Structure 1
Amino acid sequence: MTINCKEQLIDLSTPKVMGILNVTPNSFFDGGKYKNESEILSRVEKMLLDGATFIDLGAYSSKPSAEFVSEEEEISRIVPAIDLILKNFSETIISIDTFRAEVAKASIESGAAIINDIAAGNLDEKMFDIIAKYNVPYIMMHMRGNPQTMQTLTNYDDIVKEMVFYFSERIAKARSFGINDLIIDPGFGFAKTLEQNYEVFQKMELFSMLELPFLVGISRKSMISKDLNINTENALNGTTVLNTLALTKGAKILRVHDVKEAMECVTLFNKINP
């Protein structure tokens, strides 16, 4: 189970950690923390030293209340960050968190290796063309609607069954474009109630029937803080618990704010699952 990142084969048979870097003023946890070059480089260096295989770079917050950002603004935020990171840490495998084809194109041409799309191509019909043209790994997340409408679209008869159908359709379309390296993301917190998030988590191993690696991104999300009646800043322990359980259910990539703690989960998981 490998993906090809700029001619480097990454073996996902052993779980990997993806560190989050948001160059936005308003992301739900770390928005506004990384505003200048030294802060960005310090963050990237720490995540790489802590063991991150991938750095996931985002320039447009997907939280429901986030304001609109134009494609031009998103590109103007993300491309300089890519250039800065690769100038100082040339071997970094950068993933770009975007649902826009033009942002994906500009990012790949600047050296990004993976596209992480919360909409699985549903919000930009040109996305699959770009992924196929540049032949990069593509992460497809489950979501209904868009970040502004998703929390009103939580009516399911059987959420996991409908998600499997959703992914099956998106995978078939991606394959029709000749896209090879695909990863799926259940999309915790996107078009799902608190109870639905936990139902999906409980049944997550069922996604293995799709025969693709899957990514889990539950880091410090409200499904943790609301259930434990704590704030986001205190949600690291809950995140670690769910990351560990996600590994037991087959997750191959943990997308996290706290790389060191996630790597500890992976290390101990590998000890009992050699």
Structure 2
Amino acid sequence: MFTLNCNGRLLIIDKPIVMGIINTTPDSFFAGSRKSGVDAALEQAAKMLQDGATILDIGGQSTRPGSTLISENEERDRALPVIEAIAKAFPEAFISADTFYAAVARQSIAAGATIINDVSGGTMDEGMLQTVGTLRVPYICMHIKGTPQIMQQYASYENVVKEVLDYFIQKLSACKAAGIHDIIVDPGFGFAKNNTHNFQLLKHLHTFSILQKPLLIGLSRKGTIQKTLNIPAADALNGTTVLNTIALLNGARILRVHDVKEAAEAIKLLEAYQES
């Protein structure tokens, strides 16, 4: 069991939970996750919470391979009104701000977010770790090499599992030095990794239990599913459920998904199977 202090509220993870993705971007890879206005985002948030989401992850910048980098001001203007509105409408929800900008992280917590989700692991803004440490909120630390714009150039490893594990051992030390006490680790499926790397990480996911931190998995409708099955993201829900189930069997505690209902059903069925 893991207990996280989310800005004064406790999030107890004694079984796997679901994080629903709400993107305030016009260019995220899955069109179904794009919510361009506050009203649309509120509607999506209500549905996700009803379907079983514990965390809502709000992002104002696409981090798909080759995406266009936008400024912290533009990201803030997209994401903060949505965070503020959802926090007001659904005070029971735990809101995660998906950003690699320290200033946006600080403003997001002030607007009602309670978790910071940083795909860069603190590498794209040198002030991020110190900022999160000062804010005293949980930090989702993801593995990446390079930036989303060029990361696929760095998809080279002698042993991807060992190298990602070593990365987290170093990052956990840096996070603790910055005053971050509650850390969630995300292996970063698809971030500077090809299909083979992604499947190797999934197969050996249990290795990361040595870190003794909640493990977040983001496989929802990603390129690994699309390329393996030769289908578009719109048709990748079934493949997502299959890989999420494998991840749960190998120790995943948080599923970051576009489709909350299906992820929650996978968790419930797996629990029934394990308890039988």
Q: So what's the TM-score if we normalise by structure 2?
A: 0.96
**Residue in 2 aligned with 1:43?**
44
What is the CA deviation profile of residues 52-105 of structure 1, one whole-angstrom value per residue up to 9, with x for unaligned ones?
A: 000000000001222221111111111111111122212221101111101101
**Residue in 2 aligned with 1:250?**
251
Q: Is 2:183–2:213's contact at 8 Å kept on the other side of the alignment? A: yes
Q: Is 2:94–2:113's contact at 8 Å kept on the other side of the alignment? A: yes
Q: Is 2:28–2:34's contact at 8 Å kept on the other side of the alignment? A: no
What is the CA deviation profile of residues 160-205 of structure 1, one whole-angstrom value per residue up to 9, with x for unaligned ones?
A: 1111110000000111122110010010000001111111111111
**Residue in 1 aligned with 2:132?**
131
Q: So what's the TM-score if we normalise by structure 1?
A: 0.97
Q: Is 1:25–1:32's contact at 8 Å kept on the other side of the alignment? A: no
Question: Aligned with 1:273: secondary structure?
Answer: helix
Deviation at 1:13, TM superposition (A): 2.3
Question: In 1, Cα distance between the equivalents of 2:10 and 2:85?
Answer: 24
Aligned-pair Cα RMSD in Å: 1.2
Instruction: Indicate how the Cα distance of structure 1 residues 6 and 233 shifts in structure 2: closer, same or farther if over 3 A, else same.
Output: same
Please identify runs of 4+ aligned residues in structure 1 that moved more than 4 A.
none
**Residue in 2 aligned with 1:267?**
268
Question: Aligned with 1:20: secondary structure?
Answer: strand
What is the CA deviation profile of residues 114-144 of structure 1, one whole-angstrom value per residue up to 9, with x for unaligned ones?
A: 0011111111110111111110000000000
In structure 1, list runs of 5 or more residues that go unmatched: none
**Residue in 2 aligned with 1:79?**
80
Deviation at 1:32, TM superposition (A): 7.6
**Residue in 1 aligned with 2:209?**
208
Question: In 2, Cα distance between the equivalents of 1:109 and 1:133?
Answer: 13
**Residue in 1 aligned with 2:153?**
152
Deviation at 1:111, TM superposition (A): 1.1
1:88 is matched by which residue type in structure 2? A
Instruction: Indicate how the Cα distance of structure 1 residues 124 and 31 shifts in structure 2: closer, same or farther if over 3 A, else same.
Output: farther
**Residue in 2 aligned with 1:2?**
3
Q: Is 1:119–1:146's contact at 8 Å kept on the other side of the alignment? A: yes
**Residue in 1 aligned with 2:119?**
118
Question: In 1, Cα distance between the equivalents of 2:136 and 2:113?
Answer: 12
Q: Is 1:22–1:31's contact at 8 Å kept on the other side of the alignment? A: no
Q: Is 2:72–2:103's contact at 8 Å kept on the other side of the alignment? A: yes
**Residue in 1 aligned with 2:172?**
171
Q: Is 1:58–1:97's contact at 8 Å kept on the other side of the alignment? A: yes
Moved more, 33-42 or 263-272: 33-42
2:160 is matched by which residue type in structure 1? I
1:56 is matched by which residue type in structure 2? D
**Residue in 2 aligned with 1:16?**
17
Are positions 1:220 and 2:233 aligned together? Answer: no
